[in-house]
Structure 1
């Protein structure tokens, strides 16, 4: 019986790199570098946006018991909060989409599967961003009937309009 002194597992970085992992000569990797940078910057900004959102909704006023249609209507009557929530929506969706895109690139082995998963992801992202933006900017809190009379379910501030 002979004993070999050769290691069973090769030491890291000693073997040849698989050609599919090598960058082509024309590729500078700038897109991936920009998405990496976007993830870091948007992550920091999202932390600020989320904590201010949570503080203004849960700590100010009646807390969670005060959140209802009238609360959202009153908040979105101010353009500042409309743009705040819009920035939160857009950054969260783009940040999440980029993260899922990276996961798809890492784990989907076949090109066709990778392509269709990313297409579904992009379509879903566009639909959610468009619908969310429309909701924020077309939201009408003052409910009226066919004759133009204010409904009872409308928030109190609608009577002063």
Structure 2
């Protein structure tokens, strides 16, 4: 069995002609979201690890206190959404590049998109429905800021 290898000096021929710029917009999104994610992640790490007492103060009360502020809810929501979209787009590109059979590509993308949706929906619900001070809870179990 012989395999024919294309001439590496031959001009590039597009396999499929499309009118969509989806891949270009995906590429631009990866660059923009990467820059924004660097700012969000380093800001998150700085506030959580460097300001105040450092890593020793991170507990339920710390997270509950942060998430009482709409600013930190929005910060963490942006970080979650951008990281998940950025990562999903990257893995989608890898699946397109390395899976040879159409059915394999379809199954892998379905698993990827299912994981994306599940993580984003649950993460968003946790950020917005987190209640550190539940009603009728014993006072000795509540954080100090309640």
TM-score of the two chains, using structure 1 as the length reference = 0.82
State the distance in 2 between where 1:12 and 1:33 align: 24
Instruction: Report runs of 4+ in structure 1 exceeding 4 Å deviation.
Output: none
Q: Does 1:110 align with 2:101?
A: yes
Contact kept? 1:46, 1:92, Cα under 8 Å: yes
SS in 1 for 2:10: coil
String of CA shifts for 1:139-160, please: whole Å, max 9, x gaps. Answer: 000144xxx25431211110xx
Question: Match for residue 6 of structure 1?
Answer: none
State the distance in 1 between where 2:101 and 2:51 align: 50
Question: Match for residue 92 of structure 1?
Answer: 83
Give the RMSD, CA atoms, in angstroms.
1.9
Question: Match for residue 154 of structure 1?
Answer: 142
String of CA shifts for 1:27-53, please: whole Å, max 9, x gaps. Answer: 134000000000000000000000000
Question: Match for residue 13 of structure 1?
Answer: 9
Q: Work out which of the residue numbers 77, 87, 107 in structure 1 matches 2:68.
A: 77
- Greater length-normalized contact order (CA 8 Å, ≥ 6 residues apart): 2
Question: Match for residue 16 of structure 2?
Answer: 23
Structure 1 unpaired stretches of 5+: 1-8
Aligned length: 142
Cα gap change, 1:71/1:10 in structure 2, threshold over 3 Å: closer, same or farther?
A: closer
Structure 2 unpaired stretches of 5+: none
